Amino acid sequence: MIETILHPRITENKDWATVLFVLSFAIIAITRSIFENRFGDFANLIFSNKYTKVYRDSSHLKSGFTVALFLVQIISLAFFIQIALSYFGPVSKTDWLLYIQIFTFLIFFVLAKYLIEKIIATSFNIEEFMEQFNLQKVTYRTYIGLIILPFNIILFYNDTISRNIPLLIIGIILVTNIITYFISIKNYQNLIIGKLFYFILYLCALEIAPYYFMYYWFTKGSA
């Protein structure tokens, strides 16, 4: 008599990711319907600087349009970080608890950084400039977050993609961020020259150092 041994089939739960992907596209669709003209200008950001010229006032930083797409950006970036870690570290891209940790960390990181910037900007009397500068950075980073959202879906549901693809996307994100910094500096060069010392202090303390420590944390955490 042949003894049959049954092994439990282990299935990965991806329903939570599907819900978040659908939620992200729902937010995009609702935002587009409410802010139709603005969304059109935003979608053409890669081809035209009309959006950054029209919506450069600091009051737009806290508008419903910016907040809604910022949420999509955080969802998208959290997915990409987890997927990248799954390619290069001993973590699972379907681990929803890890996703919550990454999502929470990103929210905390962004809000803490923004509050510190507000304190420094108020102390140095450059609050208006920093609000405008932050708005421009948020605009371009939100655009990047929306662009990589479809790639996140492909990478999440496909297990046969080469690890070179996430590396390529990381490279494109880094290059794009550097370019957007130069664009922002060029757009506000007159204000920067007048506050050059404070801008250099801001750049070193709040732009370079936090990302270095975040990189160190992720690399050590996945080692």
Provide the 10 A C-beta neighbour count for residue 214.
Answer: 14
pLDDT (average), residues 140-161: 90
pTM of the model: 0.82
**Sequence-ordered list of residues with C-beta below 8 angstroms from that of 12, at least 6 positions apart, any chain:** 92, 94
Q: In Å, what is the CA distance from 14 to each residue of 21, 97, 188?
A: 11, 12, 44
Is residue 22 over pLDDT 90? yes
Say which residue, 218 or 178, is predicted with more confidence.
Answer: 178
| Res 69: pLDDT | 93
Interval 80-134: pLDDT, tens: 999 988 888 778 898 999 999 999 989 988 888 888 777 777 777 777 777 777 7
pLDDT (average), residues 185-201: 68
**Sequence-ordered list of residues with C-beta below 8 angstroms from that of 41, at least 6 positions apart, any chain:** 48, 50, 51, 54, 55
Interval 26-77: pLDDT, tens: 999 999 999 999 999 999 988 887 888 888 777 777 788 999 999 999 999 9
Say which residue, 21 or 179, is predicted with more confidence.
Answer: 21
